[in-house]
Structures are given as structure tokens and as C-alpha cells.
Amino acid sequence: MSEKKILELEYPVKASASMLYPFLSTPSGLSEWFCEDVNSRGEIFEFIWEGSEETARLLMKKNDRFIRFRWLADEEAGDKSYFEFRIVVDELTNDTSLIVLDHVRPEEEEETRLLWHSQVQQLLHVVGS
């Protein structure tokens, strides 16, 4: 298997950081666009899609700025990969962007890019952006 690299995707968002952040960090917000349902117990988040379930650990967060998760399957395999949602607000224009960081194998990059694009389009629809 090839080594993973960081995939960074940026999306302009017509919403404030304080409005956007709950959609990235809470079970109810994430279930609006990322998956069908989310359950959390402390730092452990269970993401549910059409009957399948993936569990992730919340690694770091800073309100209205970013949140980082690692899939437990990766963690158990010794893989230090993570995915992160980062909110950036331009100081001059006050424009908001969502940065998605993910670790992917080169052969999975295009598929992962398309998946994130689809998911973020759903998020933009939900926030009215």
C-alpha cells in the first residue's frame, strides 16, 4: 500500500464561523450533512451511514475555528491519519471558508475529493450558503 498524503480542499461559505461550527462539531449538526446519524460519548463519535457505522475519536477542537477526528480503525492500526474541518475568516473581507483536511492514498485521491465535494455541497445547502 502506498503512503497517505494530505488532501486539502477549500470551500467558500456564506455563513459566520459561529453559525457553521455547530454543523462540524455536534452530533445533530453532523447528522444534517455528513451522515445519517451521529452518536457521541465524550470524545468518541459514532457515524452511521445506511446501516454501516464508523467510529472516530475527537482529537482536538477550538470553538469556531477547527475540529479534528481520527477513525478508530486507523488508530488501532497505528495510522496517525486524521480528518479536520477548519474555518478561516479573511480579516479584510470577512469572507468565510471551510477547509477540509483528509489523509488519502494517491490512488484514492480523486474518489475522496468527489466524496468531500458532495458532502460539503450538502452542508452548504443546509446552512443556506
> 50 or 65: whose pLDDT is higher?
65
Q: Report pLDDT digits (tens) over 12-43.
A: 999 999 999 999 999 999 999 999 999 999 99
The number of folded domains in the chain is 1
Are 67 and 24 contacting, i.e. CB atoms less than 8 angstroms apart? yes
| Sheet strands side by side (includes 5-13) | 5-13, 96-104, 83-89, 66-71, 52-62, 44-49, 37-41
Q: Where are the alpha helices (DSSP H) in the chain?
A: 17-25, 27-30, 72-76, 109-127
| CA-closest candidate to residue 103, choices 93, 94, 113 | 113
pTM: 0.92
Domain with residue 83: its CATH number is 3.30.530.20
pLDDT at 2 over 70: no
17: containing domain: 5-127
Q: Report pLDDT digits (tens) over 61-72.
A: 999 999 999 999
